[in-house]
Amino acid sequence: MSIGKVVLVLLTLISGIFYFAADSKGATINYRITVTMQTPDGDVSGSTVRGVKLPSSAPLIKLPDAPAKVRSIGEAVVIDLGEKGFVFALIKDTSWMELLDSYPYHFEGDAYQDKIDFYQNIPKAQSKNIENLRLWPTMVWFKDISDPKSVKLVYSTVRENTPYGGAYIKQDMSEKTLGHGYAVKSVVIELTHADVTYGEIEKKLPWIWDYKDKRLDGNRFGTIKSQFPVANSLAAGAFTTGEYK
C-alpha cells in the first residue's frame, strides 16, 4: 500500500472518530441551593449557586474503571448564625445528585443530548424541597474559625445496615454542637441562570488554600491514627471547587 493510501485511511479513521466524539456538547446546569436552620432567634438561611457539569458524549476510549464523569462545581453553603459563627453545608463529588435526583430523567434509550436538553429546559426559579435526607449536604461548624482542627459535625447522613439492607439515617447534631434550639430545617434547590458562586469561602476561611493537598488536621491523607477524625475527613475540596488566585 502506498504512503498516500495509508494517509487516506488514517484521515478517514480520524475524521470518523472526530464525528462521533462531537455528537454532544455537554452542558453546565446551575442551581441555587438554600439551607435553612432553626435557631433560638428564628430561622436563618444561607444559599449559594452550584453547577452540575454534564460531560459531552462518553469517551471513546472508555477504561473499565472510568465512569462518565458528572461533576459538581461551586462552594459550600454558608449559614451565618451571628455571634455563634458560620455553619458550612459542604460540597462533594456526588453533590450533583442534589439536582439530578430531584429532577429524575426517566427516558431510557434516548440520545444523550436529549437528557442534557431535559435539564436545560427545566423551568427556572421553581424551587424544590429535597425530601431525600440522604441528599442533604454534610454540615460543619468551627468552634474556633481560625483553627481548622476545631471543626465539628452539625449534620450528616450515615448508612445503617438492617436485616433487609441498608438505610440512610439522618444525624442532626445541631443541638449537641451548637446548643439548645438549633436544628437543620430544610434544603431547597431551584434552577437558575445565575453564575456559580466562588469567593465566599475564601472570605470566611482565609486559610482554606493551605489545605488543598492535606486534611484539616494537617495529615497528608485520611488516617485512622488522627486525633481529629472530622478534621481528617475534610480538606479545601469539601468547601470549594474553585482555584487559588
Partner 1 sequence: MTSLNADLMSAILAMDSYNRGYDQNIILKDDGFSVGNKIGNFTLTTESDVLNGSSGVNIGFYAAAYTYNNDTIISYRGTNDQFSVNDVLNEWDFSGLNDILSTFSGICLIVKDV
Chain residues that interact with partner 1, rule: CB under 8 A: 14, 17-18, 21-22, 56-57, 59-63, 65-69, 72, 91-94, 134, 138, 156-159, 168, 212-213, 220-225, 229, 232-238, 240-243
Closest to partner 1 by CB, 79 vs 135, is 135
CB of 80 to partner 1, least distance (A): 23
Closest to partner 1 by CB, 103 vs 168, is 168
Closest to partner 1 by CB, 75 vs 190, is 75
Identify the residue whose cell numbers are 485512622: 224
Radius of gyration, alpha carbons of the chain: 22
Closest to partner 1 by CB, 1 vs 224, is 224
The answer for residues whose C-beta is within 8 angstroms of residue 89's C-beta and 6 or more apart is 33, 35, 46, 76, 77, 79, 136, 137, 138, 139, 155, 187
The DSSP-derived string for 22-87 is TS---EEEEEEEEEEEEETTEEEEEEEEEEEEE-SSPPSS--TT-----EEESB-EEEE-GGG-EE
What's the residue count for the chain?
245
β-strand partners of 19:
none
CB of 187 to partner 1, least distance (A): 15
Of 76, 94, 213, the residue nearest 151 (C-alpha): 76
CB of 161 to partner 1, least distance (A): 11
CB of 180 to partner 1, least distance (A): 26
CB of 221 to partner 1, least distance (A): 5
DSSP H stretches of helix in 174-217 = 174-178, 200-204
Closest to partner 1 by CB, 40 vs 158, is 158
CA-CA distance, 18 to 12, in Å (whole number)? 10
CB of 96 to partner 1, least distance (A): 12
CB of 3 to partner 1, least distance (A): 22
Closest to partner 1 by CB, 22 vs 124, is 22
Closest to partner 1 by CB, 19 vs 107, is 19
CA-CA distance, 239 to 69, in Å (whole number)? 20
Q: How far apart are the first and last CA of the chain?
A: 54
